[in-house]
A = this chain, B = another copy of it.
Amino acid sequence: MSVTIDRPADRRGADLSRRFTTSAHALDSEVTPNKVFHDWFDEQRRVNQFDVRPIPFAELTGWHFGDGDGNLRHDSGKFFSVEGLHVSTDWEDRGSWMQPIINQPEIGILGIVVKEFDGVLHCLMQAKMEPGNINTIQLSPTVQATRSNYTGVHRGRGIPYLEYFAQPRRSRVLVDALQSEQAAWFLHKRNRNMVVEVVEDVEPHPDFCWLTIGQIHQLLLRDNVVNMDARTVLSCVPFEAPNGGARGIVRGGYREGLLRSLSADTRSLHSTGEILSWLTEAKARHELVQRSVPLHLVERWHQREDEIGHEEGKYFKVIAVAVGASNREVTQWTQPLLAPVEQGRVAFLVRPIDGVLHLLMHAKMEAGVLDVTELAPTVQCLPGSFADLPPERRPAYLDLVTAADPASIRYDTVQSEEGGRFYRADNRYQVIEVGDDFPLQVPEEFRWVTVAQATELLRHSNYLNIQARSLLAGLHTTW
């Protein structure tokens, strides 16, 4: 090991942000021109047609309901199981409830390989089929692997490019943090979000292509193209206030405020220390007790031969599906999936404060959260599940989001959640700008933060939830 030691970390961080920003400004690429990408992606969708067909649980192969607890698990004990959870909390008067939840304790890797071509970082993206996906094929990170995949005897054989994420590493790690996934549906689930840079020649593979971040940002403006795993990894990428021109429609004041918000040197309404202290206060003062219960004892949920559902039809169902290639008659595999009963709404309210764009974050408690609370978008809910509640129990700011003036909407797409566990789960993701007259004073569970502050928190685990990260990735398409 050399004794020459590195430059201060902040300067290296700035270099990295600059390189990612350069890639975000490249809206096309000679490596994979947009036309070539779209032809390739359309072809991938055309040739990889799958039938995903709901089936009764009794037709699941390799899965069973446990004798003692009724939990739905794989015969090997691997993959994941569907269990019961009892939650008790004093958070926002939510009291206690029971629900089914997915337990998948292993930490997997969601990783993007990047490589410089002609001075511009390109991401190696995969056209990946997952059974719950809307459109079946979506654009994914280079690697999505469970721990069983990358440790153990097989050491990831059969997963292309996994070797760049394993030790000893033939790559340089640029982004690396454990981040949570849907805590309303998963118990304590986290995946490792990574970006690694490779210098050597990378072997091509027909399901993969190189895209700049700018190209991916354009795809993030379309519905259901870039999958959740790619969005969460991209959300952890730091950018600097770009010097280049606007990439899309120029909205003067909004864009200037956003560019200032990207800079770590900018002024913020609250210091990062104050944001951390506010979260610490929330965790210390509130109670959250999570207790595993047998699935068959979960109250207010019924189990039928083809679904486990809530007695009022709210929230989600657990179903089983059979998956097969549409051009063949044999089933390839069966598995359980979690199917939400409606499209969700996810929105950041954003406003300039002293010329710097701030995002209104919600410290949200969800059933399976690891550490009491994480930062969520301003609004994140299934609206129908609240429709029958009195106004004071409905999510704050939801009415404002659903009635937003179209002229104030800066980002608006429908994106899918993870298609390996969720069946056609989608959310409408929006960034809505509110004006200087919108009150800075917000309820205790909310705080205004800059993009730079959110990005700094993403170096660490379990600060921003998956919906906030997804939407942050979308927000980055708007500068």
Contact = CB atoms under 8 A, between A and B. Distances in A.
Interface in A405-464: 440-441, 459-461
A8 B266 contact: yes
A354 B3 contact: yes
Contacts of A280: 176-178, 192, 461
A284 B440 CA distance: 39
Given A265-B8, A267-B6, A284-B107, A276 B177 contact: yes
Given A177-B276, A267-B8, A151 B3 contact: no
A187 to B, nearest CB: 14
B269 A5 contact: yes
A353 interface: yes
Interface in A1-34: 1, 3-10, 12-13
A284 B1 contact: no
Given A167-B281, A173-B277, 4 more contacts: A8-B264, A9-B273, A13-B271, A176-B276
Q: In the assembly, how many copies of this chain are there?
A: 2
Interface in A235-293: 264-274, 276-277, 280-281, 283-285, 289
User: In this complex, which of A167, A274, A441 has the most chain B Cβ atoms within 10 angstroms of its Cβ?
Assistant: A274
Contact of A107 (B267, B283, B353): B283
A147 interface: yes
A272 B9 contact: yes
Contact of A5 (B105, B147, B354): B354
Range, interface on chain A:
35 or more
Interface in A116-160: 147, 151
User: In this complex, which of A12, A276, A354, A440 has the most chain B Cβ atoms within 10 angstroms of its Cβ?
Assistant: A276
24 contacts: A1-B440, A5-B268, A5-B269, A5-B353, A5-B356, A6-B267, A6-B268, A6-B269, A6-B271, A7-B267, A9-B271, A9-B273, A10-B265, A107-B283, A147-B285, A151-B285, A173-B277, A176-B273, A176-B280, A178-B284, A192-B280, A276-B460, A280-B461, A371-B461
User: In this complex, which of A268, A281, A356, A459 has the most chain B Cβ atoms within 10 angstroms of its Cβ?
Assistant: A281
A401 interface: no
Contact of A284 (B6, B109, B266, B272): B109
Nearest to A150: B285
A251 to B, nearest CB: 22
Contacts of A266: 8
A120 B168 CA distance: 51
Contacts of A3: 353-354, 440
B192 A284 contact: yes
A322 B353 CA distance: 59
Contact of A178 (B105, B283, B289, B461): B283
Which 10 A-B residue pairs are closest in the complex by CB-CB distance?
A176-B277, A9-B271, A107-B284, A192-B284, A5-B267, A5-B354, A1-B440, A173-B277, A9-B272, A5-B269
Interface in A39-96: none
User: In this complex, which of A1, A105, A271, A459 has the most chain B Cβ atoms within 10 angstroms of its Cβ?
Assistant: A271
A459 B273 CA distance: 8
Contacts of A13: 271, 273
Contacts of A109: 284
Contacts of A269: 5-6
Contacts of A177: 276, 280
